[in-house]
Structure 1
Amino acid sequence: MILLTLLVLFSPLAIDIYLPALPLISSTFHVEHAMAKYTITCFLFTMGVGQLFAGPLADRFGRRHVALTGVVIYSASALLAWSAQTMEWMLTARLLQGFGACATTVAAFATVRDVFGPEKSGKMISYLNGAICFIPALAPILGSWLTQHYSWRANFSFMVCFALVSGSLMWFSLRETNPSQQSGLSTFNLTRYWDVIKNPSFLFHAGLCMLSMGVILAYVTSAPLVLMQQIGLSMDQFTFWFGINAIVNIVACLTAPSMMDKIGTHRSITFGILLIGLSGVLMVILSSDQTAFRFMLPIFISSVGFAWILGAAAGKALAPFGDKAGTAAALLGLFQMSGSGLIVALVQNLEMTPYWLIAIQMWLVVPALLIMFSGVGRKWHQWVLEP
């Protein structure tokens, strides 16, 4: 679990540590703040698309090899970002870094499915998500300190060091868990993807993960603009509120498995959707008076809903697949990263305030309730598990 935790930390670290430095990055390269935000969306896009390749490779060559390759790509691209002299250079580095992060993420979640099986994997994913949430709590604090004492480039130096240390531990300690590595001839066979996509249980639950992840992404990309530029918080104050939300997320993710045990995955997802829908209503109502607390309160509530949805839905999405766990994890990641990034980008093109844009993103999750309580929806949720 320690090694799996390290593997899943690569992605949030690459996003959260340099968030306080986004205004400085835009001023360094003389671009608008919106262009600096593209360093996040570019990373998420390639992280999602790259999983289409990382998943089958993990099934073919093993989780360990894919994880180590991802660490190498991640560290090299972080070094490239550290040395960037133009915005185009920076965006290219972030695109490459997304490929590295996707490999570590796929390897981690495929290993969870290998080791813990279909029934326990949802709980383990919730625990891993709880560990992931430590990064939004701690990384912006570290990033703020690095930026103020050195420069925004120091954030990417830290990513390189993290990759080197973690990669060394994995080289010596990470064991292969792939139960049946397959013939290279079928590595990128389209039927592998189709076998996963045509499964309605996967499609529905991966869609839930995508929409709930979109809520978090909409918040992350809008928070620096709202809190620092519109409300006028300092870098340290921004870090404080961002950290509070991360603590809420940590508690919610770590308690989600016990919630699943007590009320079941169906009710857990249902309550999560209701909380996110309520958050959208509060976001609009409280937007009349722009303060940090009024902006963050709906975010706190939606973070709890996100945690209750993600663990249960991700576990259900991966449950029907055994030997294709890598491919299934890759497609799940594609939905979560590229899918949510695309939806957020489309919504943010609307001529509305950030408050309304985040609220709309929250309300997109609500129609899933109709499917959850339909006969076919219940059948998808109780899909027969593959050993």
Structure 2
Amino acid sequence: MPHSPRRRPDGRLILLLGALAACGPLATDMYLPSLPAIAQSFGVSAAAAARTLTSFMAGFSIGMLLYGPLSDAYGRRPVLLGGIALFTLASIACWFSYSIGELTVVRFLQALGAGAASVLARAIARDAHEPSDAAKVLSMVAIVTSIGPLLAPLIGGQLLLLGGWRVVFVALTLFGLACAAAAWLRVPETWPAEKRESGAVLRSFMAYERLLRDPLVWGHMLCGGMAFAAMFTYISATPFVYIEYFHVSPQHYGLFFGVNVFGIMLGNFLNTRFIGRMGTLRMVSMASTVSIAASFFVALVCVTGWGGLWSIVAGLFFVVGVVGLLGANCATDLMYRYPKNAGAAAAVFGATQLALGAFASVVVGWFPGVSPVGMGCTIGACGALTWVGRRIVVKWHGRPAPGVNQAASDA
């Protein structure tokens, strides 16, 4: 049965995919202002309350790795709907949790569901569009998704004032229900039955072994993943560096945060304008060069103190601004290199990004005090590893993937 030709980007589908992919960021950022209230409510330490965030990050990473191969075997739509349903039910369970242990477990399940949209938004964009259009669509999705982290802490703070921390999970439940209804009505199946291997789920998961034998995969994971880790370092460190070291007020900190979200949106907008003419390799090369240079600049000014706060703010604008652009092009390149395992390719890239980001946030916490030095050293190390990834991508791009005969038959 012939399948329909790939169409031009659909604005309504892009908005919906962006909203779906925002499940994870919203469930993280909207919840952050509630952590002290949760600790007080259950009579536990701040560290015990923070473990609910750690369990969410673990569930999100595992979810992405599960959903990619499952969607390759059974189709995008049923796996996406199942993930959103799990997210919604777990949000209800978070709402009714009455111990910190129970909340930690159901936050893990909530994240397990949220991982579906993050992976499948990329896979659906790949299925429905040609390579240059797919990268453009992923950048548009990232622009929509970026609005969530910008508004979520403000919304979460207001909900906390309105009715306590449980109201945050009421809002996430309603958001999950809205996403489930919209996905049921509007998201088509983009992975046709004739391309699936429903009788070979294990073979779909074995795609990870093939992916991890490919130097280009490692190059993209380092290049896009370490740039993402630099952004995670910024998210983890700047509340202390800006507010406690430079004495920026919490209200003004929100403005600094918003400027960098605008930078992400601008970077993704530029990608939509130039990807068609320049292609993924040139965009990855250029964006990673900006990320590397800006990371080294931030490291220099953080360690030396040259230029003070404003030099750090300026450098971080470029460090953060290219993350979405770089991720969109790295993921697109991998999904087209492995057309029959696009879900697995998107999953391994997304999970690696998240794992490297979480590790970088742990590393920056090892530095004592609240001075910018720890943030600068960590971001500088991320820049150096981004450079290594860029070198690998440039060297191996265009060379056949491992098992080239199988790859040819997949195309």
Taking only the aligned residue pairs, the percentage that are identical comes to 23
Q: Trace 1:47-126 onto structure 2 (pairs within 5 A).
A: 47-126=60-139
**Which residue of 1 is the match for residue 198 of structure 2?**
184
Report the CA distance shift for 1:135/1:371 in structure 2 as closer, same or farther (over 3 A): closer
Q: How many angstroms does 1:46 deviate by?
A: 1.6
TM-score when normalising by structure 2: 0.83
Residues 290, 319 of structure 2: 8 Å contact kept: no
- 2:375 & 2:32 partners in 1: Cα distance? 18
- 2:52 & 2:134 partners in 1: Cα distance? 32
Residues 233, 379 of structure 2: 8 Å contact kept: no
Q: How many angstroms does 1:175 deviate by?
A: 0.9
Q: How many angstroms does 1:296 deviate by?
A: 4.4
Residues 88, 173 of structure 2: 8 Å contact kept: yes
Bigger mean CA deviation after superposition, 19-28 or 4-13: 19-28
Bigger mean CA deviation after superposition, 169-178 or 313-322: 313-322
- 1:371 & 1:237 partners in 2: Cα distance? 35
Q: What are the superposed Cα offsets for residues 23-72 of structure 1, whole Å, 9 maximum, x if unpaired?
A: 33333344444444433332122211222221111011111111111111
- 1:317 & 1:285 partners in 2: Cα distance? 39
TM-score when normalising by structure 1: 0.87
**Which residue of 1 is the match for residue 155 of structure 2?**
142
**Which residue of 2 is the match for residue 175 of structure 1?**
188
Q: Of 127, 130, 133, which aligns to 2:143?
A: 130
Q: Of 47, 56, 59, which aligns to 1:46?
A: 59
Q: How many angstroms does 1:134 deviate by?
A: 0.9
Q: Trace 1:334-373 onto structure 2 (pairs within 5 A).
A: 334-351=351-368, 353=370, 355-363=372-380, 364-370=382-388, 372-373=390-391
Q: How many angstroms does 1:114 deviate by?
A: 0.6
- 1:118 & 1:262 partners in 2: Cα distance? 12
Query: What SS class does the counterpart of residue 79 from structure 1 fall into?
Result: helix
Q: How many angstroms does 1:137 deviate by?
A: 1.5
**Which residue of 1 is the match for residue 396 of structure 2?**
380
Bigger mean CA deviation after superposition, 82-91 or 105-114: 82-91
Q: Which runs of 5+ in 1 are unaligned?
A: none
- 1:40 & 1:244 partners in 2: Cα distance? 25
- 2:336 & 2:127 partners in 1: Cα distance? 11
Q: Trace 1:142-291 onto structure 2 (pairs within 5 A).
A: 142-179=155-192, 180-189=194-203, 190-226=205-241, 236-260=251-275, 264-265=282-283, 266-286=285-305
Residues 48, 338 of structure 1: 8 Å contact kept: yes
- 1:153 & 1:299 partners in 2: Cα distance? 34
Alignment RMSD (CA, Å): 2.9
Residues 144, 236 of structure 1: 8 Å contact kept: no
Structure 2 letter corresponding to 1:44:
M
Q: Of 330, 333, 346, which aligns to 1:329?
A: 346
Bigger mean CA deviation after superposition, 106-115 or 220-229: 220-229
Residues 245, 371 of structure 2: 8 Å contact kept: no
Q: Which runs of 5+ in 2 are unaligned?
A: 1-13, 402-406
Q: How many angstroms does 1:74 deviate by?
A: 0.7
Residues 126, 253 of structure 1: 8 Å contact kept: yes
Structure 1 letter corresponding to 2:290:
F
Query: What SS class does the counterpart of residue 202 from structure 2 fall into?
Result: coil
Structure showing greater radius of gyration is 2
**Which residue of 2 is the match for residue 311 of structure 1?**
328
- 1:332 & 1:118 partners in 2: Cα distance? 17
Bigger mean CA deviation after superposition, 277-286 or 89-98: 277-286
- 1:21 & 1:287 partners in 2: Cα distance? 36
Report the CA distance shift for 1:11/1:114 in structure 2 as closer, same or farther (over 3 A): same
Q: Trace 1:290-305 onto structure 2 (pairs within 5 A).
A: 296-305=313-322
Q: How many angstroms does 1:226 deviate by?
A: 4.8
